[in-house]
């Protein structure tokens, strides 16, 4: 079942057939991020508008964005599609597969890898996929 992401919205997590709630964003004067970040190393499939795909690893995830490490450079401003499992800390305790439409907002060269910050524009809950 695909359903559009909304802050605090309850969505049916297909992998457990239970409802999960993506946590609403928090605001703090000293923090530029609109949502609570969760440190999580999650394997993520990244696809660019040109169709090229690669696997990346997240460093942290929030309802609004993600920071991940890639092997190839990505361009600031580029639109990407991300497929990953949201950690239970961002839902009502259930891991949920999601497909995100995001925009690259920052790229940092870190040795042989690139650190990429992406702002999530849309998030859809996906049915469970086998790994």
Whether 102 is in a domain gets the answer: yes
- Render pLDDT for 31-80 as a digit per residue (tens, 0 to 9): 454 567 889 999 999 999 887 799 999 999 988 999 999 999 999 999 99
Q: Is position 118 within any domain?
A: yes
Residues 6+ apart with CB under 8 A from 66: 44, 58, 60, 82, 84, 100, 102, 117, 118, 120
What is the extent of the structural domain holding 92?
Answer: 10-24+35-125
Residue 18, domain member (yes or no)? yes
How many domains in the chain? 1
pLDDT of residue 129: 55
pLDDT at 89 over 70: yes
Q: CATH no. for residue 82? A: 2.40.10.220
Within a domain: 5: no
Counting DSSP H helices and E strands in the chain, the numbers are: 0, 9
30 occurs within a structural domain: no
- Output the pTM of the full model: 0.72
- Tell me if 109 is assigned to some domain: yes
Indicate whether 45 belongs to any domain: yes
Chain mean position to CA 50:
20
């Amino acid at each position: 079942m695909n359903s559009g992401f909304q802050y605090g919205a309850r969505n049916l997590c297909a992998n457990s057939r239970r409802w999960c709630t993506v946590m609403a964003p928090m605001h703090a004067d000293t923090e530029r991020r609109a949502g609570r970040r969760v440190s999580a190393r999650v394997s993520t499939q990244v696809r660019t508008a040109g169709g090229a795909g690669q696997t990346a690893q997240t460093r942290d995830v929030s309802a609004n964005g993600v920071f991940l490490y890639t092997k190839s450079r990505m361009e600031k401003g580029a639109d990407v599609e991300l497929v990953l499992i949201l950690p239970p800390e961002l839902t009502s305790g259930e891991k949920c597969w999601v497909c995100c439409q995001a925009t690259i907002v920052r790229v940092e060269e870190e040795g042989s890898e690139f650190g990429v910050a992406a702002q999530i524009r849309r998030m859809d809950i996906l049915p469970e996929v086998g790994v």
